[in-house]
Structure formats: structure tokens, C-alpha cells
Structure 1
Amino acid sequence: MVLFYERFYMFKDFYSFFKDLWKNRKLICTFAANDFKAKYAGSFFGVFWAFFTPLVTIGVYWFVFEKGLKAGMTDDSVPFILYLVTGIIVWFFFSDTIMTATNCFREYSYLVKKVVFNIRILPTTKLLSNLYTHFFFIGIAFILTILYGFMPSLYSLQLIYYLFCLIVFLTGITWITASIQPFFSDISQLISVVLQVLMWGSPILWSINAFPEQYHIMFKLNPLFYIVQGYRESFFGTGWFWQHRGMSLYFWGFTFLMLILGTIIFKKMKPHFSDVL
């Protein structure tokens, strides 16, 4: 009976988190827009850097891996530049959101100390702030794929589903990292190391078919694998998300675990935020 009540209150808190996000959706959108503008407010070119820096990164990777290392065409006969762009746009959004949302409680410490302000929305605010550049690069990816002859189709609508997957996954992860950061500031450095491993452990610059089949399961344990491959299937029209039932079940199981852990950790840490910030 005790276990039943514990689970009941755990899912009640979980529901309460999303209810708060929906209730404060207008405030979240306003905060996200202001955060995006404020991020580059002190520089001469402003938000230009939000788009220019990733474009340079794409250009460097393309030159090094296709022209220098002769990566050339992928296993699916997709030009390397398209393979790179359709995967790396997921990575840009994921890594930028993790890094900015992790520090949100410290960055907005003056709001955290206000009893009347609902600080639950702060990680989501950072997430939505990064959506502006993500939408821009989705547009760039569509332009490039069209130029190479891959026209938008019904498969393209799957991007809505995979973007939703990415947002929910990031929500759970950032609730955890943001709640820990005020008490363990080194988590930002730890995340930087983990992101390096994830970057090269995700099929962004390489194809899984380049590895022996016995290693495939190891790569598929990475939740980003599901999303990156899903983005590519959406752009190139090579498959539907319901064709990957096993991967879908694994991804959503892992994601809901992160969401539940995030709600528990936030609830336990929140009363002590004011003492350490």
C-alpha cells in the first residue's frame, strides 16, 4: 500500500510539472524570445552569430571529411553534405540546449529567490530559446536537399514527431542537470566531456553501416541515434517511424525514466536552491 501511494504521488508530481508548463506557456514563450535576444545583446552583430557560427562548423566538417578525408558518399548514396547537415542540426539543438539549460537556475538566481515565481519553467525557456536557430537550420536542410533532388514529401511531416521526441527528451535531461548544477558546479565541465563522447558516438559524421553488425546494438543504445536517423528518414523519405517499434519503445521508455527522475530530483533540490545561489 505504501508503494502504491509513493508511485501515485510520483506520477502526480510528474503531471503537475507539465500542467505548470502548459499553464505558463505564454510566459515561457516571452521569456524564450527575450533570452534569445539577450544572449547576443552585447555583441555588434547580435543574433547573427547564432546562425553564422554553426554554418562555419558545418563548412569545416564538410571540407575536412569530404575533401580531406575523402568521406564522399554515404552507404545510402546520399551526398555527404546532406548526410552531415541533416544529422548535425539535431546535435546543434541538443548540445546548445543542454549547456544553456543546465546553468539556468544560476543565471536567473534573482528569480529563483522569488517565492512567487515558478522556476520550473526556466529549463523549458532555454529549450525554446534554442528552437529559433533550430528552425532556421531545418530550413537550410530543406533547401539543400531540394537542390540535390530530394523533394519534400509526406515523410517530411515526421519531422514534427521527431522534433517532439527531441524536446521531451531534452526536458527530462535538463530538469536533472539544472537541478544538480547549483550544488555541483563542476557538472558543466562533466557535461562538456559527455557531449564530446556523444558527438562522436552518434551517427552524425559516419554511418552505422561502416561498423560490423555486432557493434550496432551499442550505437542504438544512444537515444540520439533514434532521433538523428529519424530526421534523415524524414528528409530523404526512406522510412516511417512506426517501422522502428523496438527503437521507439526503447527511446520512450528511456525518455520517461529521465522525466520521472527529473521531477524527483527537482522536487528534492528546489527547497535548497536559495541557500546555494
Structure 2
Amino acid sequence: MFSTLRQILGENWHWRHQVWSLAKIDLVRTYRGAALGKIWLFAKPAVYILVFWFALSFGIRSASDVNGKPFLLWLACGVFPWFYMSDIITSGSDIYHRYPYLVNRLKFPLSLISTFYSLSLLIVLGCMMLFTIIVCLMLRIPLGVHLVQLPLVLALMFLFWTAWSMMLSPLSAISKDFANLLKTLSTPFFWVSGILFEIGKWPQWARLVMAFNPVSWSVEAVRDCFVYDRWFWSDPYSFLPFVCVLLMFALLALHNHHRLYMEVPDVI
């Protein structure tokens, strides 16, 4: 297990410049040929936010300020991270079929594929977070000192969802049924993870269960930076379960990579 960890860390460090280059290439390729180019990075999330805001404000009528901050900011802090996680849950869980030409290159480490794909999505999320900060400053929405923890929150999200991709991609490469099953998780994760609802108002047992949901933790941690004005580690009943899940997924990622990385090129 430790030898596999050293191998993966060594590969990522040795190929770090290539990882960064591939992440940028993947980002450019996604929007190549589109007249509006990088505007599409924000267009889809913005449309989702406006639709949800309209539905919750004028339909369900449950949109009210949260902790003295505009509901729209609270909503954006849930939807923006969700787009990063949604892409990992769907495409990132079957990443080897997305880049078969890299899988079949003998000298290219498989562990790097999950890393640069997650990094390319993280760049987009980082731009969205910067955009949110700029809008808050323009509208004079107060941002507290807790915003300084945002890079650490994004780093933890990157570690977890990269491990998620590395853990599940070998299984998806071997079994198409497993890959199709994972693609169905996106919608359930969205509706049960508190992206549109305040988890703090849920019963105690429900909050305890949600503490083991990585999507829920990620969304709440980003909201801690912008809306709730608290340190994400200040509540051990939510942070410690996330750490446990992160460690478990990391160990499973190492196990699956060690057991299956030699078989993946044969089935792609």
C-alpha cells in the first residue's frame, strides 16, 4: 500500500509540469470552437442559479436571507462547487474511457489522468469563486476573515475528488455496467446533499448522516467561507466524518490502482 502511495506521489511530482499543461489543454479543448469561448465557463452555472433562485423565491417562496447574507450568494456557494463535483462523479469516475490514447501510452502513468482532469475542473471552480468574490465586493456584501480558508477548502475538495476518480475509474474501465451505475448518482447526490436546502435546519440524526456525504461537506465548507462566517474545522461532528471518508477513499484508490492498473490498458 505504501509503495503504491510513493509511486503515485512520485509520478505526480515527476510529471507535475505535464499535469499542469494537460489540465490547461483539457480546459481549452472543452470550449474550443465556441464563439463565446470562456464565457461558457460561467453561463451554465449562472443559468442554473437564476432558475433555482426564481423557483425558490417566487414558486416555493422559501428563499430568504441566510445569516444576513443574500440568498443568491448562499445558492451560488452551493451550485458552483456542485458543477465541479458533478463532472467528477460522472466523467471523472470513468476517466480512462475519456482519454484512451493516454491509457495506451506505455510510459504515461495512469494516476496522472485523474489528477489533471480534476485540476482542470478545479481551475474552473477557482474562477467561479473569484467571480463570486468580485461580485460581493461590487455589491458591498460583507466578506469576513473566514474567506482566507477558501484555498484550503478547495485543496481538500481536490484531494477527495481526485481520490474518488482514481478509486472508481479502474472499476468503470473493466465493467460498463458499473460505469453506467455511477452516472446515475449525479442526480441523487444533488437532491440529498443540501445544495438547495439548509442542512442546519434538519433533524440531528439527518445532519449526522449527511456528515458522511462528501458533496454535502464540500458545499457547506464553501458556504462557511462566504455565508456562515465560521471555520470549517470548528464543528468536529462534520469535519471528522469527512476526514474519515477521505482516508477510506484514498486507501481504496491505492488498492484499486495497485490491483488493476496493469489490466486497464487491455480493456480500453
Task: Tell me the alpha carbon deviations over residues 50-107 of structure 1, each in whole angstroms, 9 at most, x when there is no partner.
Answer: 3211211111111111122111215534322111001111111111233232333122
Q: Please give the TM-score of this superposition, normalised by the length of structure 2.
A: 0.91
Q: Aligned pair 1:231/2:206, yes or no?
A: no
Gaps of 5+ in 2: none
Equivalent residue letter for 2:233: W
Q: d(CA) in 2 for partners of 1:251 and 1:215?
A: 15
Q: Is the 8 A contact 1:83 1:204 kept in 2?
A: no
1:148 Cα deviation (Å)?
5.3
Note closer, same or farther for the CA distance 1:268–1:207 as it changes in structure 2 (3 Å cut).
same
Q: Could you tell me which residue of structure 2 aligns to residue 92 of structure 1? A: 83
1:163 Cα deviation (Å)?
0.7
Q: d(CA) in 1 for partners of 2:2 and 2:62?
A: 47
Q: Is the 8 A contact 1:153 1:237 kept in 2?
A: no
Q: Aligned pair 1:52/2:43, yes or no?
A: yes
Which secondary structure state, in structure 2, belongs to the residue aligned with residue 76 of structure 1? coil
Matches within 5 A, 1:196-275: 196-236=187-227, 238-275=229-266
Q: How many residues align?
A: 268
Equivalent residue letter for 1:198: F
| Bigger Cα displacement from structure 2, 25-34 vs 70-79 | 70-79
Matches within 5 A, 1:6-155: 10-74=1-65, 76-147=67-138, 149-155=140-146
Matches within 5 A, 1:185-204: 185-204=176-195
Q: d(CA) in 2 for partners of 1:152 and 1:203?
A: 22
Q: d(CA) in 2 for partners of 1:273 and 1:235?
A: 42
Q: d(CA) in 1 for partners of 2:199 and 2:96?
A: 38
* Superposition CA RMSD, Å: 2.0
Gaps of 5+ in 1: 1-9
Q: d(CA) in 2 for partners of 1:229 and 1:111?
A: 35
Q: d(CA) in 2 for partners of 1:204 and 1:72?
A: 13
Q: d(CA) in 2 for partners of 1:77 and 1:273?
A: 51
Q: d(CA) in 1 for partners of 2:143 and 2:69?
A: 15
Q: d(CA) in 2 for partners of 1:147 and 1:67?
A: 26
Equivalent residue letter for 2:24: A
1:207 Cα deviation (Å)?
0.6
